[in-house]
Amino acid sequence: MDIIGRWKVAKALYIDPETGANSWETPEALILDGRADEEYAMMMTSVFDFCEDGYVRAAMQIPEMISKEEIDEAVKAGEITLYDGNMMLLEEKAWKEENGKYYYDSGVDGTVGDEKVSPWIELTEEDGMIELMTFKLIRAE
């Protein structure tokens, strides 16, 4: 599998608040029936660019209701970073390949008991999708 390129969310992890049951749902289903809060909905509509420089960049379209002046002010104030034209950068994390496997720097740093836990999590592939934290990604067209 070649990971370089643009990916989008095909499925998102949903945890039922009443039962605690986990399921993988499409972003459309979670957004349409109101099970996704605004922040999670925004992340589910993002793209993830796995770049040759070893970084994965998550970005989203800038909402149409935001004027160019507001965008320019936010950029000048350092509140947002423009990315790939009309997108804003949400997050930038490292990824790497080792022994034919891909890993993502989750940014989580800690210990379990006395043992240090690595922030690097393996990206698994299944049915043409890669699992990245709470998302299953497919190649964007």
**Cα 11 to the center of its chain, rounded Å:** 11
% of the chain beyond a pLDDT of 90: 71
Once rounded to an integer, what is the mean pLDDT over residues 105-117?
Answer: 84
Confidence grade of residue 100 (pLDDT, cut at 50, 70, 90)? very high
Of residues 86 and 9, more confidently modeled: 9
pLDDT the model gives residue 50: 97
Structure tokens at 140: 């964007």
Indicate whether 43 pLDDT > 80. Answer: yes
Indicate whether 69 pLDDT > 90. Answer: yes
Distances (CA, A) of 85 to 60, 64, 121: 11, 14, 30
pLDDT the model gives residue 114: 83
Contact by Cβ (8 Å): 50, 95 = yes
Q: Which residues contact 97 (CB under 8 A, 6 or more apart)?
A: 3, 103
pLDDT the model gives residue 1: 80
Report the DSSP beta bridge partners of residue 89. Answer: 59
Indicate whether 141 pLDDT > 90. Answer: no
pLDDT the model gives residue 79: 94
Contact by Cβ (8 Å): 91, 57 = yes
Indicate whether 122 pLDDT > 90. Answer: yes
pLDDT the model gives residue 117: 86
Confidence grade of residue 46 (pLDDT, cut at 50, 70, 90)? very high
Once rounded to an integer, what is the mean pLDDT over residues 42-59?
Answer: 94
pLDDT the model gives residue 13: 93
Of 59, 30, 48, residue with least CA distance to 139: 48
Distances (CA, A) of 55 to 24, 52, 69, 139: 26, 7, 30, 17
